[in-house]
């Protein structure tokens, strides 16, 4: 894995927007007209060489779901349209992978494909090995859409690399998304209900089989190019980003008390060592926590359905007033003002 760093690419490929436009056209919806009517300028990025800034992926997915409520078939079809060339540089890295194992290494490093808020990871599974969908960072109201689309996407991309339908053992779908069970059956694949996870499962021997388009030299080149496109960490330093990641994990666990000692434990170092390393970087533990809290707060405030009081609670504040004071100190505006201004910013000014 590249330098021990993982993370999504910073832009959603324009191929995803074009696939979305094509899917909507099948039901008589004009992507450009509909998005502009909703105050978005997504259409301006249809032919962008970089794509859509990743910060706007959630609003893009919500826009699509609002136009296709409960259309599980269209959600799956959208994923199936996303063939590897649609992903630009990342698609070429997958397409030139010498084996499925190389594809999975790429998947682990970049936490899956750039068009999804979910992460995909390679893991040993009952009945073989496979690709597990992690929905922890996906808002609850678009998780079902994400599962349907990402199943389609994974099937399409594995098929492109295999140059035929990839011989899966089966697909498991978590119980809470069981309405999607009939979908995967469209491909003649066995589908199982799972208590916990959604995954695509195959026999381990398939992972080492050489792929038709595999080219080690081109794969290494495109993988290096993908690393240049990765989302920058909040701190621009691998060690500080690790600390920030640990703080974020602690904040997401309501039962975990946020303290330097607890974060040191997460990182398997002593509290003294962590304090010393932070001092060497001329940053305090509180500054790390404030940066992470601010980033998480801004992400949650963009979801208009999340009450400000809930944002405060999820960030570890006992009282909303404390959160209000902290947020104003960080940003110079109240959470409510940020939410109003942020909602306006989601309309993406035309370039």
Last residue of a domain, one of 173, 196, 228: 228
| The predicted structure's pLDDT at residue 346 | 45
- Extract the residue ranges of the chain whose pLDDT is less than 50: 1-5, 344-351
Last residue of a domain, one of 173, 206, 228: 228
| The predicted structure's pLDDT at residue 132 | 95
User: Do residues 162 and 180 both lie within one domain?
Assistant: yes
Tell me, what CATH number does 310's domain have?
1.10.10.60
User: Do residues 91 and 112 both lie within one domain?
Assistant: yes
User: Based on the number of CB atoms within 10 Å of its own CB, is 111 exposed (0-12), middle (13-18) or buried (19 or more)?
Assistant: buried
User: Do residues 243 and 160 both lie within one domain?
Assistant: no
* Containing structural domain, residue 298: 238-345
Task: Give dist(CA 158, CA 77) in Å, integer.
Answer: 15
What are phi and psi for residue 135, nearest 5 degrees? -105, 15
User: Do residues 248 and 218 both lie within one domain?
Assistant: no
User: Do residues 141 and 282 both lie within one domain?
Assistant: no
| The predicted structure's pLDDT at residue 256 | 66
Domain count, the chain: 2
Examine residue 350 and state whether it is found in any structural domain, yes or no. no
Examine residue 139 and state whether it is found in any structural domain, yes or no. yes
Instruction: From residue 21, give the alpha-carbon distance in Å to each of 73, 87, 122, 349.
Output: 16, 16, 30, 20
Examine residue 233 and state whether it is found in any structural domain, yes or no. no
Examine residue 310 and state whether it is found in any structural domain, yes or no. yes
Output the DSSP codes for 60-117.
Answer: HHHHHHHHSTT-HHHHHHHHHH--GGGGTHHHHHHHT-SBHHHHHHHHHHHTS-TT-S
| The predicted structure's pLDDT at residue 231 | 62
Last residue of a domain, one of 228, 251, 278: 228
User: Do residues 17 and 161 both lie within one domain?
Assistant: yes
User: Do residues 266 and 190 both lie within one domain?
Assistant: no
User: Do residues 25 and 129 both lie within one domain?
Assistant: yes
Task: Give dist(CA 290, CA 310) in Å, integer.
Answer: 18
Let me know the angle formed at the C-alpha of 183 by 181 and 184, rounded to the nearest 5 degrees: 85
Task: Give dist(CA 43, CA 251) in Å, integer.
Answer: 36
| The predicted structure's pLDDT at residue 232 | 64
| The predicted structure's pLDDT at residue 255 | 64
User: Do residues 153 and 250 both lie within one domain?
Assistant: no
| The predicted structure's pLDDT at residue 249 | 76
User: Do residues 205 and 245 both lie within one domain?
Assistant: no
Task: Give dist(CA 30, CA 10) in Å, integer.
Answer: 27
Task: Give dist(CA 176, CA 167) in Å, integer.
Answer: 26
- Is 54 within 8 Å of 10 (Cβ atoms)? yes
| The predicted structure's pLDDT at residue 4 | 43
Examine residue 41 and state whether it is found in any structural domain, yes or no. yes
User: Do residues 290 and 217 both lie within one domain?
Assistant: no
Examine residue 174 and state whether it is found in any structural domain, yes or no. yes
User: Do residues 266 and 313 both lie within one domain?
Assistant: yes
Examine residue 89 and state whether it is found in any structural domain, yes or no. yes
């Amino acid at each position: 894995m590249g330098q021990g760093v993982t993370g999504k690419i910073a832009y959603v490929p324009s191929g995803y927007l074009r696939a979305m436009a094509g899917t909507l056209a099948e039901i008589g919806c004009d992507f450009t007209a509909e998005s502009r009517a909703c105050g978005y300028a997504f259409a301006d990025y249809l032919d962008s060489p970089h794509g859509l800034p990743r910060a706007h992926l959630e609003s893009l997915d919500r826009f699509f779901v609002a136009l296709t409520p409960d259309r599980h078939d269209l959600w799956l079809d959208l994923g199936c349209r996303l063939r590897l060339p649609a992903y630009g540089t990342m698609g070429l890295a997958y397409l030139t992978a010498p084996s499925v194992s190389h594809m999975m290494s790429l998947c682990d490093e970049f936490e899956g494909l750039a068009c999804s808020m979910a992460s995909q990871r390679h893991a040993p599974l009952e009945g073989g090995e496979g690709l597990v969908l992690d929905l922890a960072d996906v808002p609850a109201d678009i998780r079902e859409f994400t599962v349907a689309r990402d199943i389609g996407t994974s099937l399409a991309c594995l098929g492109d690399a295999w140059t035929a339908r990839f011989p899966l053992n089966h697909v498991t779908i978590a119980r809470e998304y069981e309405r999607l069970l009939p979908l995967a059956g469209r491909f003649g694949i066995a589908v199982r209900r799972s208590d916990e996870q959604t995954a695509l499962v195959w026999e381990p021997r398939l992972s080492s089989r050489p792929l038709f388009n595999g080219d080690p030299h081109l794969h290494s080149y495109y993988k290096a190019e993908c690393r240049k496109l990765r989302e920058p960490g909040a701190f621009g330093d691998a060690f500080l980003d690790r600390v920030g990641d640990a703080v974020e994990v602690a904040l997401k666990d309501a039962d975990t008390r946020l303290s330097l000692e607890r974060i040191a434990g997460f990182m398997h170092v002593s509290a003294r060592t962590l304090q010393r390393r932070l001092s060497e970087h001329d940053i305090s533990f509180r500054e790390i926590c404030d940066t992470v809290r601010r980033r998480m707060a801004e992400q949650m405030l963009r979801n208009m359905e999340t009450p400000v009081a809930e944002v405060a609670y999820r960030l570890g504040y006992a009282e909303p007033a404390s959160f209000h004071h902290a947020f104003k100190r960080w940003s110079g505006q109240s959470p409510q003002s940020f939410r109003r201004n942020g909602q306006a910013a989601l309309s993406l000014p035309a370039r």
